[in-house]
Amino acid sequence: MSRRNPFDDVEEFFDRLNRQFEGQGGFDQDVFGMGGSNRLSVDLLDRDGELVVTADVPGFEKDEIDVRVSGRTLTIEADRERSTEEEDETYLRSERRSESLRRTLQLPERVDEEAVSATYKNGVLTITLPKHDPGIGGKSIDIE
């Protein structure tokens, strides 16, 4: 029996809170000096025999994105650092910075972790998660 992650409820609470803000027009984070949102938008599709997650990760390189699946939990992380080569430059305004995105999803059912695949094209990450077939690898039990 797998243990439930105690932070899943907290993540779900913040997801609901964010959806409520979005439904009411949200708020402009730039007013608070935080720049843009670090929310990773995703779609989850249940297709015959597989789940498909599509995430918008614009501006990141493929090697800056990490995808992990464990049990029924999918985690997507993207990290990039802004590096300035010109140290003698005097910037009047510099808004580009390090950026980090993270999203953890509770999947509706178990998936075959060994068969998960991902592609990244034009800022869109697509993760295909074949559903776990409980009939595979089972042991036949003789009935006496």
Sheet strands side by side (includes 42-47): 42-47, 50-56, 124-130, 117-121
CATH of the domain at 46: 2.60.40.790
In a domain, 31, yes or no: no
pLDDT of residue 19: 66
Tokens 């059912």 correspond to 109
3-state secondary structure of 70: strand
- Which sign does the torsion angle of CA 28, 91, 78, 57 carry? positive
DSSP-derived secondary structure letter, 131: B
Is 129 exposed, middle or buried (CB count within 10 Å of its CB: 0-12, 13-18, 19+)?
buried
In a domain, 140, yes or no: no
In a domain, 43, yes or no: yes
Q: Which residues pair with 114 in a beta bridge?
A: none
The span from the CA of 40 to the CA of 79, in Å, is 12
φ and ψ at 17, to 5 degrees? -60, -45
pLDDT of residue 38: 59
In a domain, 1, yes or no: no
DSSP-derived secondary structure letter, 30: G
For each successive 10 residues of the chain (144 residues), what is the average pLDDT? 72 74 44 49 91 92 92 90 64 73 90 92 94 66 63
Structural domain that includes position 75: 38-82+98-133
In a domain, 3, yes or no: no
